[in-house]
Amino acid sequence: MADYIFNVARLLAQTSGQRRSVDVNAPPEAMDVPELVGSLWGTAQFTRLSDAVLVTGRMRGLARVPCARCTDDVEFELVFDLNDQFVPRTDPVRGGTLDPGDRWLLDPGHNLDLCDVLAEGAISALPPRVVCPGQCKEIWDDQSPADRPLDPRLAPLERLRREMLYEDGESHG
């Protein structure tokens, strides 16, 4: 099995508080995050809760984004922590279907697939702007924030904000 999918059937059969450590290594093609240039890796702990498996641990990887000033590629390390719960589709003790709420689901064979939580973690760890170390960084730090180009990923939001302000101004006079 891939190094980001783990069978937790045995852990589910144990009592609350039981733990297991696993080495995670997820290749970039397992996650839909174009900024990733290599595997995400780290050690995760699986802890049996009364009705779920808690996944914790620190993950690392390498990302590449365009410099906010010169648009050259900049590579940097991503570091983020996992803190997610996975629940079985069916209650292993009482039977019946469990309501996952805002938690993740194990597959019917009690396999815990980390690709979605890794993708979410990597995306949330991406900084809003990155500039090249050296000259770009120096120039960037000297500029006032208003003179800096807007992050292209935020442009649609900024457009929406201006549209809303404009419409608001119009309807109120």
* Sites of contact with Zn ion (CB under 5 A): 67, 69-70, 72, 132, 136
Q: Which one, 31 or 132, has the nearer CB to Zn ion?
A: 132
- Alpha-carbon distance of 167 to 21, in angstroms, equals 54
Residue 22 to residues 42, 54, 124, 168, 169, Cα–Cα distance (Å) = 9, 13, 23, 53, 56
Q: Which one, 30 or 68, has the nearer CB to Zn ion?
A: 68
CA angle 83/85/91 to nearest 5° reads 170
Question: C-beta of 96: minimal distance to Zn ion in Å?
Answer: 56
Residue reference for tokens 């809303």? 164
Residues sharing a CB contact under 8 Å with residue 92, sequence separation 6 or more, in sequence order? 12, 13
Q: Which one, 96 or 134, has the nearer CB to Zn ion?
A: 134
Tokens of 172: 């109120």
Question: C-beta of 72: minimal distance to Zn ion in Å?
Answer: 5
Question: C-beta of 121: minimal distance to Zn ion in Å?
Answer: 26
Q: Which one, 16 or 135, has the nearer CB to Zn ion?
A: 135
Question: C-beta of 133: minimal distance to Zn ion in Å?
Answer: 9
Please, are residues 99 and 85 in contact by the beta-carbon 8 Å criterion? no
